Amino acid sequence: MNIYNSGCSFTTLHPLFINEDQMYWHFLSKDLGAETVINDSMHGSSNNLIIQRIYRHCLSNLDADTFYIINLTSLNRMDLEQSKSDRIEDVLNMNAVSRWEWETAELVTYMQIAGLVAFLNSYNKPYYIINNSKVFEWDPPGPRKPFFNFVKDNPRILNLYKYSRYDFHETYSGMKPWDYDLYGWNGHDGPAGHLAYYHKLREIIQNRI
């Protein structure tokens, strides 16, 4: 089995602080008996880009025995509405940023997850979807209702509502990221933080799958 791992800077190496073989997805890959592991995580990736890489790899490797690990990042890595100008200063401006709204971003991510799950299931590709940012809003009767049961009842969507990487360390482990002074609990974990998070994910997997 091959493992294809897609994420952002939370799941790529930081040479002075952590190597890939010390990361939680590496340990999950070993549990799965991976023969080959491709880590296609890139600094600064949005969820849109993280999911696009899964589509691209899968469509190019339909006959391969591949397990996909999808690591969701912060919802506020946003796609801005394009203006009539091609100049970055006209696109990335206060008016464009002010149009971003958390609830809408969360609903869009739900939609992306639902589409990705349908796609991977249609090609019989196993996967884990892991939330590395803040937990999603627990609001079953609210505007998220169309997606809530879909996510809650899917055992391969591991930690949208509890024990996200951010939530796990802030609320349970107390292990601060090595760059906590810059990013708070949304910083990057060192080896001990990754190992503790791996054990929590493994516990979730054993209870759900």
Residues for the chain: how many in total?
A: 209
pTM for the full model?
0.90
Pick from 13, 57, 15: which is nearest to 36 by CA?
Answer: 57
Q: What's the first-to-final CA gap in the chain, in angstroms?
A: 18
82, 91 contact by CB (below 8 A): yes
Does the pLDDT value for residue 40 go beyond 90?
Answer: yes
Could you give the 3-state DSSP secondary structure of residue 131? strand
Task: Give the dihedral sign, CA 113/167/143/82.
Answer: negative
For the chain, what are the domain ranges? 2-208
What CATH number has the domain spanning 2-208?
Answer: 3.40.50.1110
What's the average model confidence in pLDDT over 32-49? 94
Sorted by sequence, the CB contacts under 8 Å of residue 18 that are 6+ apart come out as: 178, 188, 189, 190, 191, 194
pLDDT of 204 reads 97
pLDDT digits (tens, 9 = 90+) for 88-107: 566 556 666 566 677 788 88
27, 37 contact by CB (below 8 A): no
The pair of structure tokens assigned to 74 is 């912060």
What's the average model confidence in pLDDT over 168-193? 96
